[in-house]
Structure 1
Amino acid sequence: MNKVYPKWSELPNIDLYLDQVLLYVNQLDNCSIVDDDKGLTSAMINNYVKNGHLEKPIKKKYNRRQLARLIVITCLKNVFSIQEISKTINGLTIEESSETMYNNFVMCMNEEKREGLPEVIVSACDTVRLYKKTHDLVEKII
C-alpha cells in the first residue's frame, strides 16, 4: 500500500455535492483491495447517513469532516463492518478532533508514523495491509 492518502489540510475546503464526493473518494482508490471493488457508491453514502454512521449533508453538500470519514470508511470497509468502523471513529473523536484522528490514520496508512498513534489505528492499518497482502497471495495461487 504505497499510495498516499491526503492529509486533512489537503482535502477540499469547500463543501462538495454527492457526485463530487464520489469522484474524489473513488479517485483516491487507495483501499481497493479487490479488483472488482466498486469503491464508494451513492447508495452506500445514503445508507451511512440513514443508519447514523455519517452526518446528514447540509443543503445536499458534504463538508471536510464528512469527506474524511468517508475516506476512512471506504478504506476499512473491506475488512471491518460499518458498525465497527463507526463505533471506533466515534470513540476516537470524543477526546480528539476529527482532524487529529484523520491525520493520525493518514500518517499510519502512508507509513509515515506509528509511534504515539492510538493502538486501534495502528492495528486497523496493519489489518488492512495484511488483508491486501493475503488477497494478493491468493490471487497468485489461483
Structure 2
Amino acid sequence: MKTRLKKAEDLVSTFSYPTWEQLPELDLYLDQVLLYVNKTCAPVLSSSDKGLTAAMINNYVKHGYVEKPDKKKYQRRQVARLIAITTLKTVFSIQEIASTLNFLQDQASSDLLYNSFVAYLNEQKEPIAPIIRSACQTVQLYLETLSYIQPATTEEETDELHHETK
C-alpha cells in the first residue's frame, strides 16, 4: 500500500508545465501543436486517453473555444489555451471549460491567467482567481484517485498486495 500512496503523491507532483515565456515564440503548425500540447499534458493523460487530436482542435475552433489559426499557424495564446483545455478536459466538459476561460478572459490577460494556472499546478502558488485553484485541485484529486484504482502494474506492487492479504 505504501507504494500506491507514493505513486499518488508522485502523480500529483509531476506537473512541470511551461510558463507563458517558455511557450514557443514562433507560431506552430497543427502537427507541431499536437506534439507540444500532448507532451506538456502527459501527466494528466491516462493510458486510455489519446490526448489532443487534430479533430478536437478543429472542433474547438469551429465552436469558438479556440481562436482560428492565422495562415494555418497557432500562436502562443492558442497553444496556452489548448494546454489548459487538454488538462481540464479530464474532469470538466469542454463547454464548462470554455465558459470558465471566457469568464476569466474578461478579468485578466491570457499570459497572466496562463501563468497563474501553471504556477498553481507546478508549485501550488496561490492563483489570481479562486476558480483556477479549484479547477487545478479537481484535476489533482482526480489523478490521485485514479492512482489508487489503477491495477498493480509492477512486481513490487503485486508482491505488496500479496503480503497485505496474508
Q: TM bucket by the smaller chain? A: over 0.9
1:132 to 139, 143, 155: 143
Cα deviation digits, residues 98-120 of structure 1 (max 9, x gap): 00000000001102402x53110
Task: Give 1:123's match in structure 2, choosing from 134, 138, 151.
Answer: 134
Partner of 1:55: 67
Residue segments in structure 2 that go unaligned for 5+ positions in a row: 1-11, 153-166
Task: Give the structure with the higher percent helix.
Answer: 2
User: How far has the Cα of 1:30 moved from its partner?
Assistant: 3.0
Name the TM-score, length of structure 2 as normaliser.
0.80
Asked if 1:30 corresponds to 2:43, the answer is yes
Alignment of 1:57-136 (within 5 A): 57-114=69-126, 117-136=128-147
Aligned partner letter, 1:63: Q
Contact persistence 1:5–1:30 (CA under 8 A): no
* 2:28–2:75 Cα contact (<8 Å) kept: yes
Q: Which has the larger radius of gyration?
A: 2
Aligned residue identity for 2:105: T
Unaligned residue ranges in structure 1 (runs of 5+): none
Output the CA distance in 2 between the equivalents of 1:38 and 1:60: 23
**What RMSD in Å do the two structures reach over aligned CA positions?**
1.5
The count of aligned residue pairs is: 140
Sequence identity of aligned pairs in percent?
Answer: 55
Show CA shifts across 1:18-73 (max 9, x none): 000001111111321x2121110000000000111011001000000000000000
Runs of 4+ in 1 over 3 A off after TM superposition: none
Q: Provide TM-score, normalisation by structure 1.
A: 0.93
